[in-house]
A = this chain, B = another copy of it.
Amino acid sequence: MEFTAQQIADYIKGDVVGDPTAKISNFSRIEEGIPGTITFLANPKYEHYIYTTEASIVLVNDSFSPTSEVKSTLIKVPNAYASLAVLLDMVEKLKVKKSGIDSSAFISQTATTGENSYVGAFAYIGENTKIGEGCLIYPHAYIGDNVKIGSGTTVYPHTAIYDNCVIGNNCIIHAGVVIGADGFGFANENGEYKKIAQLGNVIIEDSVEIGANTAIDRAVMGSTIIRKGVKLDNLIQVAHNVEIGENTAMAAQVGIAGSTKVGSNCMLGGQVGLGGHIKIGDNTKIGAQSGIVSNTVAGSEIMGSPAIPVKNFMHSSIIFKKLPEMYKTLYQLQQEVEELKKNKQ
């Protein structure tokens, strides 16, 4: 399908700057733009590409004013990235979704699946499990006993959801995710570890997205809870009895130890580690690879392992490079002072 700049501008409520009849039939990244595609500029780091891109149309923020000639037709919108999202979403929705229950799926007699749900080949749905309307349960998904899944939720292949877990509406769970495996709980008895049975479950609220191969352990008692709107990237570890507040986003490979509570609207960079039994305040921002071992107040911006305020970390890291030089200077100075003290006598 082909669209003109004017048609697109009308759809996303933007203003055309340039040729309103410019036509596109696909998306491109600004640095790889070719004629017939639409791209966007949101990150200022990429601005220089707008002066050379071959893309026919570029979505830009209202605030953008070119410092040189731009060949492409521009569409100005309040938030170029958000408008791009609207366009991508439109295309995504045109895709035909899978439907029907594959005859090779294993659905236990006591399980129920809602209307318009898809259950793919070799999917397994356990006893007393209830799956809502319009869900997509992909091939090889494993959903244990007494699980509840809301409506509109997608479960990709090789996801394992253990017994008694609860998943909300409109969630997306990517391939290889494990929800509800036993928490890592042992009592050390004379040097050997005795397993602590993990009797709790995992509760995932609505509109949560969980990236590939992420693992969320069941609680020892009670629930491990992922609140509404949380977005977890790939290969993340969430230990037993953790709670993650609404609309918190975590990049890949973050690890959270047991019983820690993360506030809402937090942002965690990749490979961050949170110690156990701590509280991370709302709106906390944590830089990649940081390690946090104590509570943080709401709104903190921290980095390092152990983490300190971001600016402090940046400054100290610059000095870290100079440590050998500082060390030399310090002990030279010490000698000079000794010399001065001697001479004084």
Question: Which of A's residues lie within 8 Å of B, judged by CB?
Answer: 27-29, 32, 43, 45, 79, 81-82, 84-85, 88-89, 91-92, 102, 104, 106, 120-122, 124, 138-140, 142, 156-158, 160, 162, 172, 174-176, 178, 181-182, 184, 186-187, 189, 191-199, 209, 211-213, 215, 217, 220-222, 229, 231, 233-235, 237, 239, 241, 247, 249, 251-253, 255, 257, 265, 270-271, 273, 275, 277, 288-289, 291, 293, 304-306, 308, 312, 315-324, 326-327, 329-331, 333-334, 336-337, 340-341, 343-344
Do A231 and B184 touch (CB < 8 A)?
yes
Q: How far is A82 from B195 in the complex, measured between Cα atoms in Å?
A: 9
Among B81, B122, B252, B253, contact of A122 (Cβ-Cβ < 8 Å): B122
A184 CB, nearest partner CB in chain B, Å:
4
Beyond A176-B178, A192-B247, A270-B273, 14 additional contacts (C-beta under 8 Å) are A79-B187, A85-B194, A104-B106, A156-B162, A162-B175, A172-B195, A191-B247, A195-B209, A252-B257, A273-B289, A289-B289, A312-B324, A326-B327, A340-B341
Among B158, B231, B326, contact of A158 (Cβ-Cβ < 8 Å): B158
Most buried by B among A45, A239, A255: A255
> What are 10 A-B contacts defined by CB distance under 8 Å?
A45-B277, A104-B106, A140-B158, A186-B231, A211-B215, A213-B213, A237-B253, A239-B252, A252-B255, A253-B253
Collect the chain B residues with CB atoms within 8 Å of residue A323's CB.
315-316, 319-320
Collect the chain B residues with CB atoms within 8 Å of residue A120's CB.
124
Among B176, B293, B326, contact of A213 (Cβ-Cβ < 8 Å): B176
Do A28 and B222 touch (CB < 8 A)?
yes
Collect the chain B residues with CB atoms within 8 Å of residue A305's CB.
289, 305
Chain B residue with Cβ nearest A270: B255
Among B27, B139, B251, B308, contact of A184 (Cβ-Cβ < 8 Å): B251
**A174-B182, A199-B88, A288-B273 known; A142+B124 contact, CB < 8 A:** no
Closest 6 A/B residue pairs (Cβ): A92-B197, A160-B175, A178-B212, A319-B323, A88-B197, A142-B157
Q: How far is A220 from B193 in the complex, measured between Cα atoms in Å?
A: 30
Chain B residue with Cβ nearest A43: B277
Do B273 and A271 touch (CB < 8 A)?
yes
Q: How far is A77 from B315 in the complex, measured between Cα atoms in Å?
A: 51
Q: How far is A334 from B277 in the complex, measured between Cα atoms in Å?
A: 41
